[in-house]
Structures are given as C-alpha cells and as structure tokens.
Structure 1
C-alpha cells in the first residue's frame, strides 16, 4: 500500500452525517486519528518483536517510528490520506504493520473473528489494538461511518454502527459476555497495583470493588471521571444486592450526551425524521438505567447502556408507528389521535435504500 511518492499509505473516508460531504466535526476527526495512531503504535511493538509491560507503555522511539502523517483532505468527500513511518522505520516493519492493521479491519468488516485473531496472535496486544480501533468507530446513534482505502484506491474496510459489537465479540468470549452485567457507579478509587477500581453503587450507597485485568487498564485510564459503567460478572451479597464485580471486561464513562433521531429501521420498516428530533438522556433514580422520553410522540424508552437504548428506541418508535400512525382514526381515542398526528408530522415512511 504505497502512494505515487513511494510512501506506505492508506486513506480514511468519513461518510454520512456531514454537511455537503466536505466537512467533519473536529471531535470525530480527532477520535478517528487518535484511534488510528494508537493502533499502529501497538502493532509496531509487535512487528518489532517488543513487549508491553505495565499500563501499555510504548517507548518514545516506537511512537516516533510508527507515527501517522496526514496529507491535505481530498476534494469530493472528507477523505484524509495518511502516510505511515517516521525516521529509521524498516521497510519490512512498515509492510508488516500495514498488513496486520488491514487484516484486522477486514476481519471486523466481515465479522470474521478468526481473521482478526490470525492478524495479531498476541491476545493481550490484540485486545488493546481492538480497543484502539473501537475508538475509530461511530456510536450506535452517530450518523457517520468510516471506510478505509489502500493506496491503490481499493476499499478494504468499513467501520459503522455495527462494528463495535464485532469488536466486543472478538475481545470477550461469548460465555463471558453472557455472564456479564453492566453496573453504573461513582468512581472513588483506582488501585493499579492490585488492579481494583472502587465505585459507589447508587442504589445501596455502598462501595463496590471491581477486579480487572491488564487489557482493561487502558480503558480505565481513559475513563476516570464521575459516573462510569463497569461490565463484568457481578457477585451478590446475602440480600441479593451487588457487592463486587469480577472478570471486568469493559469500563466506560456514562454517556448522557444528546441523542439525535434521524433514521429508524425496524425489520422491513424504515422511517425518516422530517425534522430534527433530539432526546436528552437521563438516569433513573437508581442511576442504573438511561432513559429518554418524548410525551408528544409517546416515546418512553430505557436501557442500561446507550447502545441498547438506541435499539430499544428504534423498536419503540416502530411499534408506535404501526399501532398509532397507521391506525384508522375511528379505532383511536382523542389522545391517541394527537399522538398519531404528531408521529405523522415527525416521520415519513421510505423504502430501504432510499
């Protein structure tokens, strides 16, 4: 993957949710570039035959050798050409790093966890690289997606709102995912020596210890403010209340940023918002559920995580459309007719692919 100048390169194409296709929010661009840079630094330690010890510290020399350099965006869409390689980086290491990165992106795109594992056999390092790539993916309610192209103009990957689930599947075994629960609490202490994070569990106002492993520590360093969501196996006390979390496999800030509704897809039904609809997520009294509501449209959805909430919201809007918007007036009472009118004013039904 070399460009006409002989530089090892690829390009990042940010698509959708961007006005005129030639602009992108700075936060989105920073998120993608930061994740890309981190992924190549981690892959770089592998291709150079190095190991990462405590807290995934990477040497300054490796960071310098595997730095990404951005060229001017290309016209027509927001495409950022990226070159790999600082000073003294061996050609075979450049090729190996690009090959591992490409295969991991291809594996995520194809939902092929075996290809992901084969691209980087070191499990601990692979999980860290996957977390870095997860930082390049959109949230469940984001309106943008990212495609990756090699220097020959061949697309080799697509990171979209479904990619995070594939990455989670590649990091956490299915039996561990099925046994995991999400707990929200106030971060109070981090013990890096014993790999224990302590949170206050709001329903009981008691401290809970959460035991994590090496691969999760970097997430903890990045997400150490206020309310956090910890995913792992919950141990209950004699009263049936959570007292400890073991086998922690994910740590995230609680995301209560505004949630925009643009397109709703449920089975064969596809709805497009005719005006901007923004919902303000809030927690319930236990701070364990994220809730959104809109009285006019009849929306009242909740879930433990933002990703699940987006799915619940889509299902609920689809149900409301079927039961109210498409219902005959003579089958509805006064309040239901108002809801029908509000739904018809807020959404229009379109064919898939329109």
Structure 2
C-alpha cells in the first residue's frame, strides 16, 4: 500500500479498556456500523438521494462504498479499516468517499457547529450525518476514549470527547425538511387530463408532478427522454421522493431542439466548432422558457416553447455584434471574457 493511502485507525483507549484488556463488543460493533453508515450516506449523496430515517443504500452504493476491517494488531486496541469497493478494490469512488469521511469527521472533531455546516451545508443531510456519527460516541460516563486517524502517526481526525457536544446538538429534534433539490430521471408518462408527468429517477420510486398548461408542448416533446425537476420534494420516511411540495423549474436533459451550428450577422455567416445544444427550462414563477450559458453570455427566454430556439439565435447575433466584433479597449473585463469565449467557439466566414 502506498504511503499516501494508509489504513484508517479506530482506536479505543481509557481506563476501562486497559482494565478489561479490550474494548466492549457492543462499542466496537456500533462504531464500525456508524462508520459504514457514514460511508453509505456519502454514497447515497452521490446519487442525489434525499435522506430519510429509513433510507437504505442502493445495490450500487453497497457495491462501491464499503468499510473493510484489517486484522487487528496483537496487543493493541486499534481496529484498522479502509474505504473500498465491495470487491476490496481502492477505486476512485472509494478514494473520494474516504476523503469525504475524514473531512466530515474532522468537522465534527472541531466541536464547531459552523465548521460542520461548512462541511455539510444542507440542514437535512447534516442531521443524518450527525445521527450516524452518534454511533461513534461511547457512553458519556464510561471514561472510554475513541479516536480515528489516517495512518499510525499524526493528528487525530476525530475524538469522541471533542465531538460529543456538537454531534448531540446537531442530531437533536426531528430531521429538518428537505431543501431545494434537482432530481433527474426519465419522463415515463404524461397524463394530459390532470396535467401531470411521471418521472422515474435512476434510483428510488417513480413520482408524479403537476405541470402548467403552458409547458405541455415541452413535456410532450420530451416523452421518454431524460428530464429534471427542480424544487422542494415531498419525502417519505425511507427517503423516497413521492412528489414535490413546490416545483421551481423543469429542465430538458436530452433536448429535442435542433442544435445551433451557425447563424448570420449582416453579410457574415458565423459557424461553430461545437454546436450549441439547447436544454430548455420552464420557470414556474416567471412563466417563461429559458436557456442560459454563462460562459457565452447567453440569457435567452421566450413565452412559448417553440420560440425558444429563435430567441437563442437572436441572442447569439446580439452577443456577436456587441462583444465579438467590439474592440477590447471598449469592453469591461467580464465582457472581454465573453468575447474570448465567443471567438473560441465561433468563427465568421
């Protein structure tokens, strides 16, 4: 094993450990279960799952995100472990999960609630991570010390004594309501009578979402294509999305629009080395179809779905005249970045 990827050490210490010549089995089991739960949460987060009290990892997460225990060193109270795939391989997914696990433990170890919020910004996810980490805390009156660190030397990533108060505080009460999420999936069915679509995510159950009549052409054009829903989900106890309390936006992933490979400005034909794929969104609040590309400066909109492509072309013409054809000394720094991006992507012939 390379020097930059050493086993993580889970160490039990304190008077009761030395007196008994070992750690209590229930503490060892609960600690390893907590670490595995944390790694599974990291894996489920990578699948854009919404956490619930009875949420279970998918087959992919169980396959790609596992805790493996090494043989304990004789005479020590240290359990070495690592994050690997179910086949024991050190994959990129496992390396990223290990990094995420150690950073999460360090945040709890700081005892600083703001540090934990920085590591886990989402309120609901933070509650579930704290709830899982609670399994790493020995009984408060046991005088048992539990620490975690990567390798055999250097500072500890986690000390139960230092982390106890912030973990107990963050897992108190009920889990916060789910915040705004983006859920991709396949547009499985359309009910034109009730104006509802059924979306099948890559993981979890299918759910139904209402759409406004203005978006019907967009919905119909994307039947059986990939789609994403942006908003506040309605989540059951197992973490499955059963609907949306509020939808902010729906967005195409596999767009049916013809890509934009060229457009005309005055006597010039402007061609691109990489056609623009229009992924339309419908904004429920503004009641507009929109397409944005921050790098190219595109911020196009239309009141109907069918007009959006023309709106994007018009926006490109305006950007080419106002930025690509303008002298550098007449542009601000951010405008120069747009000009550079346009000239890298397009050429007038």
Q: Which band: TM-score by shorter chain? A: 0.3 to 0.5
Give the TM-score normalised by structure 1. 0.43
Which structure has the bigger radius of gyration?
2
